[in-house]
Amino acid sequence: QKEVEQNSGPLSVPEGAIASLNCTYSDRGSQSFFWYRQYSGKSPELIMFIYSNGDKEDGRFTAQLNKASQYVSLLIRDSQPSDSATYLCASPTGGSYIPTFGRGTSLIVHP
Amino acid sequence: GAGVSQSPSNKVTEKGKDVELRCDPISGHTALYWYRQSLGQGLEFLIYFQGNSAPDKSGLPSDRFSAERTGGSVSTLTIQRTQQEDSAVYLCASSLGSGEQFFGPGTRLTVL
């Protein structure tokens, strides 16, 4: 069973701080990784994707991928209360097109 | 352009009844996925379509669940003889190949 694992949290950070969300995966063949944000009662929305080792920045968000260590992380700089949500990590595993989703990490940004 | 749409947004049914949930993907997206999410839980994969064919039905929880996709576009998820444990939010997503998925707003199913 190819897995994508996340700490369920909640991760609580003060407004303005950097939130660091981590995800590990078991399939060494995984090539692409996606981060989704899901507000309570809403459906997931894509915020970042990364295919190559290293960092990818988009505004306040940075995705980091380390294939040797099999982890991918999402950093949120200058966290805002509006960033409070569940963050889902996903990757197609086992040679499949179908992404395997982690269970998500709940982030709480308090004023 | 229009995103993924799903209907109905809410469905309340009695145990034992059949329900049909509809998904209209983004135009041109060849891949379509159905997921189920129970309250406070992660996404449970149900079925994947590539075009009109379903190469992976491994996530369907029982033979009461079936899905079809016609014209490479609209998909219908049918649950027969609904049970209370079928209560959940049913999410549909579409993508171009194995790229990022775009989710619809979901259908909240409540089985009384």
Shortest CA distance to B42 belongs to which of B62, B18, B59?
B59
pLDDT for position A3: 87
Position B106 confidence tier, pLDDT thresholds 50, 70, 90: very high
**3-state percent breakdown (helix, strand, coil) of chain A, nearest 5:** 5, 55, 45
Four-point Cα dihedral A16, A20, A21, A22, nearest 10? 180
Q: A93: which chain B residues are within 8 Å (Cβ-Cβ)?
A: none
CA gap B27, B37 in Å, rounded: 25
**Residuewise pLDDT in 10s, chain A (111 residues):** 668 999 888 999 999 999 999 999 998 888 899 999 999 999 999 999 999 899 999 999 999 999 999 999 999 999 999 999 999 999 987 777 788 899 999 999 999
Could you say which residues from 26 to 45 on chain A have a Cβ atom under 8 Å away from some Cβ of chain B?
32, 34, 36, 42-45
Position B67 pLDDT exceeds 70: yes
Say if residues B36 and B89 touch (Cβ distance below 8 Å): yes
Instruction: Inspect the interface and report whether the beta carbons of A97 and B41 lie closer than 8 Å.
Output: no
Q: Do B101 and A46 touch (CB under 8 A)?
A: yes
B90 and chain A: CB distance < 8 Å anywhere?
no
Q: State how far the Cα of B52 lies from the Cα of A45, in Å rounded to an integer.
A: 25
Q: Which residues contact A76 (CB under 8 A, 6 or more apart)?
A: A18, A19, A21, A60, A61, A83, A107
Give the pLDDT of residue A50: 94
- B27: pLDDT strictly greater than 60: yes
Cβ–Cβ contact B105 with A under 8 A: yes
The pLDDT, as a whole number, for residue A106 is 96
Helix (H, G, I), strand (E, B) or coil at B86: helix
B77 with B34: CB under 8 angstroms? yes
In this prediction, residue A1 carries a pLDDT of: 63
pLDDT reading at B53 higher than 60: yes
Find the CB nearest B56 among A42, A88, A98.
A98
- Per-residue pLDDT tens digits for B75-105: 999 999 999 999 999 999 999 876 789 999 9
CB B67 within 8 A of CB B77: yes
Q: Which amino acid is at A24?
A: T
- Determine how β-strand A61-66 pairs with β-strand A85-92: unpaired
> Touching check for B50 and chain A: CB below 8 Å?
yes
Q: What is the pLDDT of residue B96?
A: 86
Residue B90 backbone dihedrals phi, psi, to 5 degrees: -105, 120
What pLDDT score was predicted for residue B1? 54
- Cβ-nearest to B103 among A43, A96, A102: A43
- Beta-carbon neighbour count of residue B103 at 10 Å? 22
**Residue B98 has what pLDDT?**
67
